[in-house]
Amino acid sequence: MAETRFLPSLKVRRLVVGPLQANCFIAADPETDQGVVIDPGGEPNVIFHALEEMGTQAAYIIDTHGHADHIAASKALREAIGAPVMIHEADATLLGEAGRHMASWMGLGFDALEPDRLLRDSEVIDFGRARLTVLHTPGHSPGSISLLAADRVFSGDCLFAGGVGRWDLPGGSEADLFHSIETRLLTLDDDIIVHPGHGPDTTIGRERLGNPFIASQEG
């Protein structure tokens, strides 16, 4: 008989980084202090010092998608802490020259890099006694992902408090975005905390009831 694994609630710290004010999250297992950095979009020194303050050893750097405001510090942070960079396979090219072109268009700096691991839907990322499950949620970009923990989801630029991600950037799709929200996020329990790529936290229930973009689709 398989052993039942009771997953701990994550210790989470939000850092607002870069000129576009993207959310970078440090998520750690409070029992082992093993953790991950999600979307290091700038200011690698700030992220590094936050890891030190939390006493967190980052096992992985995870980019929810390949836009410059979410990945700009990935290379510098990898060099500082030695953690591998992970991104969905459909956005992998955005870490290279394609990403450099988009960063220039957005007016942001960017150091191209090769990802260490390509992610796919339903993969599980373990660190300490904690885990994140990869949910492929395309629409904002082809390889956008959300990361599901026991009681929360890191939604990248798919779902925001009172809003949704843009779909008018290269590779974006309005149909894919709302399909992702409907089939991958709104199927979660109402009390699941949502940590979005920009802006404040919310919950699935709050967005199900009050998000005007979701309401417009249902109407």
Average pLDDT of span 74-84 = 95
Residue 130's pLDDT band, with cuts at 50, 70 and 90, is very high
The pLDDT score that the predictor gives to residue 100 is: 56
Q: By mean pLDDT, which of 54-58, 80-84, 95-99 is the weakest?
A: 95-99
Mean pLDDT of 27-49: 96
Domains of the chain (ranges, CATH numbers): 11-218 (3.60.15.10)
Residue 113: per-residue pLDDT = 85
Residue whose C-alpha is closest to residue 38's, from 11, 15, 65, 61:
61
Paired with 131 in beta bridges are: 126
Distance CA 186, CA 29 (A): 26
Q: How confident is the model at residue 4 (pLDDT cuts 50, 70, 90)?
A: very low
Q: What is the pLDDT of residue 216?
A: 85
pTM for this structure? 0.93
CA angle 139, 152, 128 (to 5 degrees): 110
CA atoms of 69 and 21, how far apart (whole Å) = 8
The pLDDT assigned to 99 comes to 57
Strands (DSSP E) contained in 29-123 are 34-38, 57-62, 85-88, 117-119
Residue 3 pLDDT: 37
Angle of CA points 191, 122, 35, to nearest 5°:
70
